Amino acid sequence: MKKKCFMVVVVALAVSFLMGAPFCYSAEPIKIAGIFALTGRAAHIGTSQRDAVILAIDDVNQKGGINGRMLEMVMGDTESNPTKAVMALKKVLESQDVVAIIGPTLTGTAMAMRGFIEKEKIPTFMHSGGDVILKAPLDKKDPNSMPKWTFKSPYKAADAMGKICQYMSKHGIKNIGFLYSNEGFGKDGLRNVMVQAPKYGVTVAAQEAFQPRDIDITAQLTRINAKNVDGIIAWTVGPAMGIIAKNIKQLGIKAPLFECHGAGDPIFWKVAGEAGEGVMMPSTKIVVGDQLPDTDVQKKKIIDYVKAYNEKFKHEPGTMVAYGADAAFIVIEAIKKAGPDRAKIRDAIENTKGYVGMSGIYNISPQDHNGLSMKDIVMIKATKGSWKLLE
């Protein structure tokens, strides 16, 4: 018995020595962390964002890395759960040499992580949709306590909503119904439409909620239709995007349907099928790269990236991929400029000016940790299994 114990100790010691021994590379890799919702309810978004980041890192490494040092990603899974997200954050921070974080996916997990990120002082580029991440002060009593280390790549939901309302008012749609999924993202949309619609002379005549997992939304649509609206906005990502389009067709509602800025994704066609025809939405330019005018500075970059993405993952990237890719590329640029130092990287990210990304042109500043504006958003129309650029 004693002999056995001794052997176990010896083996354990040997293993720990081997594991702990410094690898004899001439240049150690630079580590960045990627935290995504790889499982749980947002897994369909998280996994494609992970792919986008992997592609970006591979791209840099194939070109010889940064000053001869390869990039390496330490991955964490939030399981779409706030507590697990904080645990994943602490876990990736275990390796002291992680210089920056990309992710997480969901706004709820981002909010839970935010306080710890600020405390740990590590630059983090999130790709979650909610504006609240950047808008809400860290300390409720001090309205100036804005997050210093937190950035986010998707453009503000308020701008996306503004774009739709602008388009509507231009095309004579004045009286609309708003349909939202009853969770963080949908509620955020509801607040935004209440602010943006009046700006463009659009009235929200009806507002209805549904659960993200509902299998039928005709009851809500019937109620909206009873108000004789001439346009409907649906704010959700996931299966409901398709269910709403189908239900509208079933009920014979003539009012055009607009969906949110997350809908421009191959998933849309999978869930909506033929009923998706004619649905309009704001989007990043990534899904309509080849339709852009040649004068567009983003065009070449988007076409190259989409090609690479297609080759690696064998399917078209959606609008969510753009957010993941931009976050990764901006962080990588910052590392190139500032070297592997957390504080310097943060400053470099904050000074990103005129960066041409997939989602738009980023002009990040201390006041604006996102850096995109309404100009970067395009309106697209779902046409024959693909997308048509409207304006």
Partner 1 sequence: MNTLLKQKDILGFGALAVIIIILPLFVESKYYFIVLNVIGLNTIVVVGLNLLIGFAGQISLGHAAFYGLGSYFSGILTVNYGFPLWPAMVVGMMATGAVAYLIGYPSLKLRGHYLVMATLGFGIIINILMGELEQFTGGHDGLMGIPPLAIGGLIFDNDLKNFYLIWSFVFLCMLAARNLLNSRVGRALRAISGSEVAANSLGVNTADYKVKVFVLSAMFASISGSLYAHYITFISPSSYDFHYSIQVVTMVIVGGMGSLWGSLLGAGVLTCISEALHVAKQYHIIAYGVFLCLVLVFLPEGILMGIINIFLKKKTQQNIIKANRQ
Partner 2 sequence: MDFSQQIAQYIVTGLTIGAIYAIVAMGFNIIHNATGIVNFAQCEFISLGGMFMYSLVVLFKVNLIISFFISMAGVALIGALIEIGPIRHARSKEIIVLIFLTIGLSEVLRGTAQEVWGTDNVGVPAFSGENPIHLLGGATIVPQHIWIFAITVLVMLMLHYFFKKTLMGKAMRATAVNRRAAALVGISVNRITLFSFAFSGALGAVAGIIIAPISTTSYDTGIMLGLKGFAAAILGGYGNFAGAILGGVILGLLESLGAGLVSSQYKDAIAFFILLLVLFLKPTGIMGYGEAERV
Q: Which residues bind partner 2 (CB under 8 A)?
A: 39, 41, 43-44, 47, 182, 208-211, 213, 215-216, 218-220, 222-223, 225-226, 238-239, 242-243, 246, 249-252, 267, 270-275
Alpha helix segments (H runs only) across the chain: 2-20, 43-62, 82-92, 107-120, 132-135, 157-170, 184-199, 218-225, 240-251, 266-272, 299-313, 319-338, 342-350
Q: Residue 390 in contact with residue 168, Cβ under 8 Å?
A: no
Query: Which listed residue (29, 58, 74, 91) binds partner 1 by CB under 8 A?
Result: 91
The answer to whether residues 367 and 149 touch, using CB atoms and an 8 Å cutoff, is no
Q: How far apart are CA 226 and CA 238, in angstroms?
A: 26
DSSP character at residue 181: E
Which of partner 1, partner 2, none interacts with 112 (beta carbon under 5 to 8 A by kind)? Answer: partner 1
Strand order in the sheet with 124-126: 71-77, 30-36, 98-102, 124-126, 150-152
Q: In this structure, how many other beta carbons lie within 10 angstroms of the beta carbon of residue 305?
A: 24
Determine contact, residues 135/191, Cβ cutoff 8 Å.
no
Does 182 help bind partner 1 (rule: CB under 8 A)? yes
Q: Which part of the chain contacts partner 1 (CB under 8 A), choosing from 64-72, 80-88, 158-166, 332-340? A: 80-88
Sign of torsion over alpha carbons 125, 130, 135, 137: negative
212 binds partner 1 (CB under 8 A): no
| Chain length of the chain | 391
Residue 140 interacts, among partner 2, partner 1, none and using kind-specific CB cut-offs from 5 to 8 Å, with: partner 1
Q: Whole-number minimum distance, CB 133 to partner 2, in Å?
A: 23
Residue (86 or 275) nearer to partner 2, CB:
275
Q: Which of 54, 70, 74, 138 binds partner 1 (CB under 8 A)?
A: 138
**Minimum Å distance from CB 57 to partner 2?**
22
One-letter amino acid at 375 equals K
CB of 80 to partner 2, least distance (A): 11
Q: Which is nearer to partner 1, 139 or 294 (CB)?
A: 139
For the record, the structure tokens of 359 come out as 């989602």
In the list 30, 35, 38, 260, the residue contacting partner 1 (rule: CB under 8 A) is 38
- The answer to the question of residue 205 lying near partner 1 (CB under 8 A) is no
Q: Which is nearer to partner 1, 213 or 270 (CB)?
A: 213
Report the C-alpha gap between 176 and 134 in whole angstroms. Answer: 29
Out of partner 2, partner 1, none, what residue 274 binds, judged by CB under 5 to 8 A for its kind, is partner 2
In sequence order, the 6+-apart residues with CB closer than 8 A to the CB of 336 are 66
Could you say which of 58, 72, 183, 316 contacts partner 1 (CB under 8 A)? 183
**Residues forming the site for partner 1 (CB under 8 A):** 38-39, 77, 80-83, 86-87, 90-91, 93-94, 107-108, 111-112, 114-115, 130, 132, 136-141, 182-184, 187-188
